[in-house]
Amino acid sequence: MIRILFIGLLFVGLSSCQAKQNPSPEKGVAKQDTVPESMPPQFPFPTIPSTLTQPEARKSYLLTHYWEKFNFADTTLVNNRDVTEQGFVNFIALLLGGTTSEELIRESIENWCGGFLSSEYASQKLMDMADSYLYNPNSPFYNEYLYEIYLESLTKEFPEEDLRISRYNFILKLLKRNNPGSQATDFTYYLSDGTRRTLAGTPVKNNRLLLLFYDPECESCHEVLLQMASDATLAEAVRNGKLSVLAVYTEGNDEAWRKALPDMPKGWIVGTDRETIKLGALYDLKAMPSLYLLDGNKRVVLKDASYERIIRDISDR
């Protein structure tokens, strides 16, 4: 498991240091031959100028020069998780520090992308690493804001004819949709009796709507649905009118959807969108289930959040 190392001292104490000279052996004492111990590879942090004394200035220098001494052409180094992956984790931790400005984040990520794209092998490894850490909802570093800046920086470095640009532009379009504070994208769904409804026209109790995109044939969806169905706090909130729940099936197997309908909790609105959300890329459904918390005007409160995070918001109201 890759750990978050303590890196606060990096921009306080990183500086060049000279190895101390061994004292001359005393007269009459035989000099012993010593075999230096093999040191494991270390991440090649930049040397911060001693003239930079303020923590923020040192942090800024460290971030913008972070990958300068890293040899992206060295495949052995790139494959060393204790160096490359640990270095990347520390890089993310610094970028996500509360005082790091967007300008500094962009410059640092652009420098990083410009560095690894010089090597085809390093490019594949580090791009996979960024996807895994920043765009996987199960990652502790999952961060769409940082991933969006990364994709924008990355695509600027690609040649115009690079086929990857269209794929990443598609993801960027999804990332910019349905963010907290924005209006949730409207869509049409159908109840089991064929009644046609829209998200915009769905009634909401107490200014809170829990929007759930699910697939009963998905194992993780099944686990979350069981958790929600057995949660007394959620059941009481629905029963007492503290919120409404809208569960939308996003796949195309109508038979599977109808077969699972009896297992859905009472009081929920349950419908199928007949694949319009997925085909129209209206919401980012990279992982299922996908949960959103909306207010009564269908503005996003929480985007693609864990059930635990959503239930905390409901309980606090």
Q: What is the 3-state secondary structure (H, E, C) of 79-128?
A: HCHHHHHHHHHHHHHHHCCCCCCHHHHHHHHHHHHHHHCCCHHHHHHHHH
Q: 55 with 144, same domain?
A: yes
The fraction of the chain above a pLDDT of 70, given in percent, is 88
Compute, in degrees rounded to 10, the torsion defined by CA atoms 203, 204, 210, 215.
Answer: -10
- For residues 203 and 312, state if they share a domain: yes
Residue 13 domain-assigned?
no
The percent of residues above 90 in pLDDT, for the chain, comes to 73
169 & 48 share domain: yes
pLDDT at 25 over 70: no
pLDDT(128) > 60: yes
- What's the rounded Cα separation, in Å, for the pair 137 and 115? 27
Question: Could you tell me the two tokens for 305?
Answer: 């959040």
Any residues with CB less than 8 A from the CB of 20 and at least 6 apart, and which? none
**Residue 61 domain flag:** yes
Task: Give the domain range for residue 230.
Answer: 188-316
Is 105 part of a structural domain of the chain? yes
Residue where a domain terminates, one of 151, 175, 199: 175
Give 244's strand partners.
209
- Segment 172-198 mean pLDDT: 95
187 pLDDT more than 50: yes
DSSP 8-state symbol, 248: E
Flag whether 70 is in a domain. yes
Domain stops at, among 175, 202, 230: 175
Same domain, 193 and 312: yes
Which tokens sit at 207?
């200014």
CA distance 305 to 87: 28
Beta strands 290-294 and 209-214 are: antiparallel
Looking at the structure, tell me whether residues 80 and 200 fall in a common domain. Answer: no
Bridge partners, residue 105, by sequence? none
Are 108 and 227 within one domain?
no
228-278 residue pLDDT tens: 999 999 999 999 999 999 999 999 999 999 999 999 999 999 999 999 999
In terms of Cα–Cα distance, which of 204, 205, 295 is closest to 242?
205
Considering the domain boundaries, does residue 1 fall inside one? no
Pick the last residue of a domain from 175, 203, 235.
175
pLDDT value for 163: 86
Inside any domain, residue 55: yes
Q: Are 37 and 85 in contact (CB under 8 A)?
A: no
Average pLDDT, the chain: 88
The CA distance from 13 to 1, in Å, is 26
Assigned domain for 272 exists? yes
27: in domain: no
233 sits in the region (left: phi over 0; alpha: psi -120 to 50; else beta) called alpha
Q: Which of 293, 288, 297, 284 minimizes the C-alpha distance to 311?
A: 293
Q: H or E element: which one contains 150?
A: helix 144-157
Q: Does pLDDT of 207 surpass 80?
A: yes
Based on the fold, state whether residues 163 and 192 are members of the same structural domain: no
**132 & 244 share domain:** no
Same domain flag for 164 and 68 = yes
Statement to judge: residues 128 and 166 lie in one domain: yes
33 or 184, which is more confident = 184
Q: Both 87 and 154 in a single domain?
A: yes
CA neighbor of 211 nearest in space, from 248, 174, 181: 248
170 and 56 inside one domain: yes
Q: Which long-range contacts (CB under 8 A, 24 or more apart) does 77-80 make?
A: 77/41, 78/119, 78/121, 78/122, 78/125, 78/126, 79/125, 80/41
Give me the residues paired with residue 269 across strands.
Answer: 246
Could you give the number of structural domains in the chain?
Answer: 2
Task: Kindly report the CATH number assigned to the domain that includes residue 258.
Answer: 3.40.30.10
Instruction: Reply yes or no on whether the pLDDT at 20 is more than 50.
Output: no
Length of the chain: 317
